[in-house]
Amino acid sequence: MTNSLRIRPIAGALGAEIGGVDLARELDGNTIAAIRRAWLDHLVVFFRGQPLTPERFLAFARRFGEAVEYPFIKGIDGFPEITPVVKLEHERVNFGGLWHSDTAYLERPPMGTMLIAREVPPYGGDTLFANMYLAYESLSAGMRRLLDGLVAVNSSAKADVTKTREDRVRDGARTDAQCENEARHPVVRTHPETGGKALYINGAHTVRFKDMTEEESAPLLQYLFAHQQRPEFTCRLQWEVGSIAFWDNRCTQHNPINDYHGFRRVMHRVTLAGDRPR
């Protein structure tokens, strides 16, 4: 089946659409390896027209890693590893609605995330992705030397302050969720599979540098947060029902655009276990 795969880049920075494959079928090892290679090369890959059942969606995700439960929100009925990502018609705040990498406040943040669209608004609700290899590589040599020695403090409490998951936590919170998670990770992490260096801080979770106060850290962090969002580092996905995005959380950030008030958007997400950033 590998020969039938069609891999089409969608932007200069990152992102590719993969066609010629039916994800509802059991895929052979060569096809899974080719998809993984495209994922590592393009950082985020997209599939169209794949209305998978929860069982098949989870089975496909598991071909790439261990599916883990999201720390704050319960999974859908019968599938605790599948997290609902929902914005309802009356809600004004969307889930994760700012630039971030997923759960950087965990000691072992996820390797990757897979998201499938179940219901989409008639317009809007796109997701932006950004290449953190490029974000690092485009900095000056002096700035890279400075950042290479820094460690960032990341906290789930900052995500609470930004109110990006207010309704979902209120209505679907896990009873065993911790009040706050905090983790310290290198500002520049080395990808364990590609060996590339990526800028690994984000505006949703990073609060300061280790051994510095928040006030001391703020000027440099704010510069870097803005730098990470430069348009030439990004691509954009317009969702359709049955679209799937699979991104590498170790070297990308994403930002779901909140521009569809009055409409419903329902997604299902599977998170894949990662290692400790180094």
Active site (catalytic) residues = 100, 102, 254, 269
The residue behind tokens 């060996």 is 195
Rounded to 5 degrees, φ, ψ at 29 are -60, -35
Contact 50, 82 (CB under 8 A): no
CA atoms 236, 258, 65, 52: torsion sign: negative
Of the candidates 192, 198, 187, the residue with the CA atom closest to the CA atom of residue 137: 198
- Taking the CB of residue 59, how many other CB atoms lie within 10 A of it? 16
> How far from the centroid of its chain's Cα atoms is residue 29's Cα?
25
In angstroms, the CA 58 to CA 46 distance is 16
Contact 110, 272 (CB under 8 A): yes
In angstroms, the CA 135 to CA 198 distance is 7
In angstroms, the CA 277 to CA 163 distance is 26
Write the burial class of residue 122 (CB in 10 Å: 0-12 exposed, 13-18 middle, 19+ buried): exposed
